[in-house]
A and B are shown apart, each in its own frame.
Chain A
């Protein structure tokens, strides 16, 4: 799926 947490980018 597209949205996932945690986001790895700052």
Chain B
């Protein structure tokens, strides 16, 4: 464990907590894409298959449980909670996220480090996570006034993977034979998808104006 990865995990945790805070306290999911949340639930479900078979550390197991629990409960809240679901804008959240799942699965079957079920599922989760934010970014462009919590959520979600990139660079230079091209390229693509969001988020913070993405 290095400071970059720990900071990344904490940033990821913070993004989840911000979202749970928003949904649980003000009982609203305005501006939040259910599709991105469903994709993330699938990402964690396919990435943490070794949750019960391999024990790495208490930290590792705890964080996996938090990410799995939070992502599935957020999907439940938006789909079934009688108050929260009313604020879900299904007419705007129209990204065909199923069109993301299949290509990622096919790609994972073609390009992976080892052709085993667990390895292919793990690779699938990496590819899917790289594109999981797309429905949310599309929804943000359609949502005129983005509330602070939603903006913070997306920012933290993007920042965590950027910190992971620093972690991979650090591990590459400090650990012999630490080479994971699939992880690195997926993480880089994922972070680059946030590039324009980061730009507008920074501009709104610098000029102290409401965050708005150009249509």
Contacts and interface: CB of A to CB of B under 8 A. Distances in A.
Interface residues of B, number: 22
Given A7-B50, A8-B56, A10-B9, A2 B64 contact: no
Contacts of B67: 10
A6 B183 CA distance: 15
Contacts of A2: 113, 179-180
B63 A10 contact: yes
B63 A3 contact: no
Contacts of A10: 9, 12, 60, 63-64, 67
Interface stretch (B92-100, B114-122, B150-158): B114-122
Question: How many interface residues does chain A have, given as a range?
Answer: under 10
4 interchain residue pairs of minimum CB distance: A3-B113, A6-B54, A3-B114, A6-B50
26 contacts: A2-B113, A2-B179, A2-B180, A3-B112, A3-B114, A3-B119, A5-B50, A5-B118, A5-B119, A5-B122, A6-B50, A6-B53, A6-B54, A6-B56, A7-B50, A7-B122, A8-B56, A8-B60, A9-B5, A9-B164, A10-B9, A10-B12, A10-B60, A10-B63, A10-B64, A10-B67
Interface of B: 5, 9, 12, 50, 53-54, 56, 60, 63-64, 67, 112-114, 118-119, 122, 164, 167, 179-180, 183
